[in-house]
Copies of this chain bind each other. A is one copy, B any other.
Amino acid sequence: MGQGNFTPAYIVVPEGSITTPKGFSAGGLHCGLKKAERHDLGAIVCEVPANAAGVYTTNVFQAAPIQVTRASIEAGGVLRAIIVNSGNANACTGKQGEADAYEMRNKFAEAIHVPIEHVAVASTGVIGELLKMDRVRGGIAELPARLSSTYEAADDFCQSILTTDLVKKEVCVSVTVDGKEVHIAGASKGSGMIHPNMATMLGFVTTDAAIGSEALHRLLRKATDLTFNMITVDGDTSTNDMLVAMASGLAENEELNEAHSDWAAFAEGLRYVCEVLAKAIARDGEGATKLVEVQVRGAVTDEAGQAIAKTVIGSSLVKSAIFGADANWGRIIAAVGRAGQPVNPETVDIRLGDIVTLSQSRPVAFDEEAALAYLKGDTVIIHVDLHMGEGTATAWGCDLTYDYVRINAAYRT
């Protein structure tokens, strides 16, 4: 994962958000789905039909809004808007839940005067309870007046999609395509029930690039595999995960595809946006005190490296040790060894930051105080080199803390 080893093709836009790309507005408000007086209904709207692509949870139980979004995008590959609620996942809610998700879509389409199949729906929150539709309807009636392309309106949207998240997640970059400035922005939420296999969170990407929905889908899927699918908080894959991208085309570049000379630059920008959002979710994992990154090198293939990186980042024992700032590399190697991938038990190196703890599978005496200081930082990088091949991978997660247990022991109450 060579980021940092070359000059990136993208520039991060300070104070950029999902409304920075041309054509997008957003907004959010409190309609009453959350007990606290926090935003719980929001929308992103594009002033023109945007080419759209989505990737969804692999969980067998897909929540009603996923069916609706899939139906909308499949109808014509374009979206004008996406409406999102937090506080209730509208999952395992049967025919009524499905009807409610379609009503959310249709009512919001009517409110902003666009065809119903140009609207997508996303939900996040408690599973198995029906949406309080009177509150949703009230919110939908108010929402159009709140839409704006200001940073504050984008902020309202970012707030409206959060559940146990402590911070909002957003990023915006610019990339030069055909000599024109193209923006790619994203917002996401996610804190618990986070695990590979798509997205395990809600993510929204806006861009003003001209790109067809199928090309956008290919890029989105590839970026997802390297970013959202490489994070884990707790190994649980939600019923509601969804990542939707909308491209307004208002930057007026030549339509992007694999033959375009700026395709790689755009792809890199999109991957970076997804990486920032994915890392932000990992860092904001329920109860987390720090971001943990696992970098694997020397695996037989990238896929083998990914499986190993995910096993290490998902180990409750590794995560607890990092919370305790304990340089317990034995748990790291135990996780490497149970990942089900080719590993030579004689050739493994492990570093915590710059501190070598294992070389060629043999313990190396290290400065415990330096290790303690490193592990107490807000970012911990675990390097694993297998010395077997050229495969590399990076995964992100967080530590396992008392607060994770506290948050999840009483989530419904």
Residues of A within 8 A of B (CB): 58-62, 89, 91-94, 126-129, 192-193, 195, 197, 234-239, 314-317, 320-321, 323-324, 326-331, 333-338, 343, 345, 358, 361-363, 400-402, 404-413
Contact = CB atoms under 8 A, between A and B. Distances in A.
Contacts of A362: 92, 94
A335 B362 CA distance: 38
A321 B239 contact: no
Contacts of A404: 316, 320, 405
A316 B235 contact: yes
B402 A315 contact: no
Given A92-B358, A402-B405, A330 B60 contact: no
A119 B315 CA distance: 34
A316 B402 contact: no
A92 B128 contact: no
A202 to B, nearest CB: 15
A138 B103 CA distance: 77
17 contacts: A60-B343, A61-B343, A61-B345, A62-B345, A127-B330, A127-B331, A193-B331, A193-B334, A197-B338, A234-B317, A235-B315, A235-B316, A316-B404, A321-B409, A326-B412, A327-B412, A402-B402
A129 B330 CA distance: 9
A236 B334 contact: yes
A351 to B, nearest CB: 15
Contact of A401 (B58, B327, B405): B405
Given A236-B317, A362-B94, A405 B400 contact: yes
Contacts of A336: 60-61
Contacts of A237: 334, 337-338
B409 A330 contact: no
Contact of A331 (B236, B317, B337, B358): B236
Nearest to A314: B235
Given A61-B337, A236-B331, A334-B238, A316 B92 contact: no
Contacts of A333: 61, 92, 127-128, 239
A128 B329 contact: yes
Contacts of A320: 404-405, 407-409
A165 to B, nearest CB: 16
A335 B409 contact: no
Contacts of A328: 411-412
Contacts of A413: 324, 326
A315 B233 CA distance: 11
B93 A363 contact: yes
Contact of A326 (B192, B316, B345, B409): B409
Contacts of A61: 333-334, 336-337, 343, 345, 361
A330 B402 contact: no
B59 A337 contact: yes
Given A59-B338, A60-B338, 7 more contacts: A59-B337, A61-B343, A237-B337, A316-B316, A324-B408, A324-B411, A402-B402
A405 B326 CA distance: 12
